[in-house]
Structure 1
Amino acid sequence: MWGDADGVHDDPCDKPPCRGCSSYLMEPYVKCADCGPPPFLLCLQCFARGFEYKKHQSDHRYEIMTSDFPVLDPSWTAQEEMALLEAVMDCGFGNWQDVANQMRTKSKEDCEKHYMKHFINNPLFASTLLNLKQAEEAKNTETAIPFQSTDDPPRPTFDSLLSRDMAGYMPARADFIEEFDNYAEWDLRDIDFVEDDSDVLHALKIAVVDIYLSRLRERQRRKKIIKDHGLINLRKFQILERRYPKEVQDLYEVMRHFARIVGPVQHDKFIESHALEFELRREIKRLQEYRAAGIKTFCSARMYDHLKRSREEEQLKRTMLTEVLQYIQDSSACLQWLNRQATIDSGLNPAIPITSNSGRRNAPPLNLTGLPGTEKLNEKEKELCQVVRLVPGAYLEYKAALVNECIKEGSLRLAQARALIKIDVNKTRKIYDFLIREGCINKA
């Protein structure tokens, strides 16, 4: 008989030791079907020699406990399934290399493919997620104070990260370090009711006490809202918000101001209903897209989605090619574009636009018509003067100075060219590179 209750964990320390030799149990092992509770467990060696102890006899019925059998995939055992879930819980979703290193029996690609197929995109799990979530919330109704009155509550130190996350709440005292309207008592410190007070003064003192009582009631009201809605455990509250899509998160942010009007259960039901409505609207929109394309079967829909993704990827490649050609002449803008693409590939949303030439727009080419010295330039030199926006006369002077210096020194470095030509360093660099390509000067 094969069991799966006690043999799915990889760590043998999680199970009781063998009753015969007190060694750690390694799968497969034997469980007596007639003895227990607690379960009577034996290793294969003690079972083979017929170990007997008190009421346990060697002729009792038994079960062979092992997790070396497939559950969701023929190539994955139940033990590996549990190891995968524990590794994802320890390393975090998406860190597949660390998950594979912890499992040791599967590669990074195998872990990611198996988890996405059987635990994320599995329609059986997807259809029961809402029910599981509601059942979990029903078990954890007390979200504001994460301990019972008989437990030892946490005691975060003052001004620590946990204390700031809990808004200064001290669970051991069930109170805050600093109250709302913390100096309300100051108005009462000098009040003293004496017999010789006039009626007006006595009425004023009573009014001040009434104002103080109203402040106390406001404190209690705010504490009740915080406790009922579970706002003390801020990180848990933020994690619950992130499970919704962006549109539902925006609604959550807007409706947060009205949470104190309705109860916590009604508020959560309202958000959950809108989240479900958003999912239904998105599914209806997808089905309408299929119908508009003339698709009537889910098999055709899968083919349509595949072709649509292919078209979008092809369109993205063309867009990327256009962008890289646009910034190829500007090294700074090209580097910004590469950094932005790396950010997109890592799953983030870059908000910094690409600026070319320090944010300035490229000037149009210079019109050389009618400028003196144009007839002395060849076609390549004319193109250079147009792009660099340099008049032909100035270019000829710069060229002569650089050529003479190169003949005198035998070679010419860029720093020497910049010392001779007192213009923009980028223009000097372009003239220097052009003369080297044309063979007019030699590079040191």
Structure 2
Amino acid sequence: MSVPSRSECNHCQTELPLVHIRCSECSNTSICLSCFSKGVEFRNHLKTHSYKIIDKGSFQVVDPNWTAFEEKLLLDGIEQFGIGNWEDVAVHIGERTSKEVEEHYYASYIESVDLGRVTVPNDIPNRMTDHTPPLHESILSIQLPRLDLDKEEELELAYMPLRDDYEMEHDNEAEILISGLAINGDEDELDLDLKVAQVGMYLDKLKERHRRKSVAREYHLVEKFIGKPLPGAKQDRDYLKRLRLCFQYMREEQALNFARDARKEQILKTKIKHLKMYRKNGIKRLEDGVVFDVKQRRRNKINSEIRQSSTSDSSQNEKPIDRLSSEYGHHLLSSDEKTMCRMLKMIPSRYLTTKTLIIKDFIQKKYGLGIKIRFPGYLEKFQRKKIQSFLNNNGWLPRVSAQ
């Protein structure tokens, strides 16, 4: 909307509001409402002169952000250009975008409770309903999803994405059936029936063409032809391959639902088995279960390494000792202790520390001292038991102290 030029009251020289008084007998004489209410007179203007009220349409009617003048231009523009041509309506109004015009019209004149819902009710009385069935229901009305291909793949397949067609379709000469048909006024009934039969044959060919496209989309034949990965994560695709014998008589949606439910059942069974293992080991909180899993994986790893080292030959067993010989404290160990360190995968310094703490703990318990020994965090429970058993067998501790 164009902004009007600044005008002033001819008496007090203040800027005229959008609603003001204009004298009908004096030329170019405008008065503000304040001066008009006081009955001022100046020059040739008298308070008894006839007048008219000037309103530039600044007040709001429906929306506080839209003036009455803009509302009038909006309705005039819709009447002139029609609903939907919002660009032209916006140009007609002036300082409004097409999006603002469209949103304001639907919000104020269609969806508004005070205006739109009143003038256009949901239930129109005496409304006629068309109950006649459609003349022709065809599978051709079902829209297929467009293929997500890049330019090179489109050229390889001769695919036209805007038409969703290929340069060579199934039964590519099907259009010949109707290409030469024309309606003449002097045809008899037999000729018309023949042309209708040709059109029916053409529609059957189109249906078969559409069916083949649907099969290609449903079973991802295009992706398999190009070599693109199928949708979904790799483990889900592998799981689907294992279940493909069950999918022989299922459609894609049924097969995916079946695979999803079977996968969910498998996951739930694994979780139940895991929870039973927690309960068997006296774990009642999930936080403790996480700690248990970490230690369990560590124990399994160490046990597997011990089994591998115990099954290796003597020449392979000497290699860890050679590596341990460069560690600090190696010269303080006996041959049996070196073998123990090799089996437990423990360096000599840690073994000596653990050995000292076990002996110290035995002495304190023997003399009734209540000081509890804190073993280092890197020491596993099975390592402590192995070392304590070794000390018992070699006379460092009496057997009665073994736990």
Query: After TM superposition, is the score higher than 0.5?
Result: no
Quickly name the TM-score band, shorter chain normalised: under 0.3
Higher relative contact order (CA 8 A, sep 6+): 1
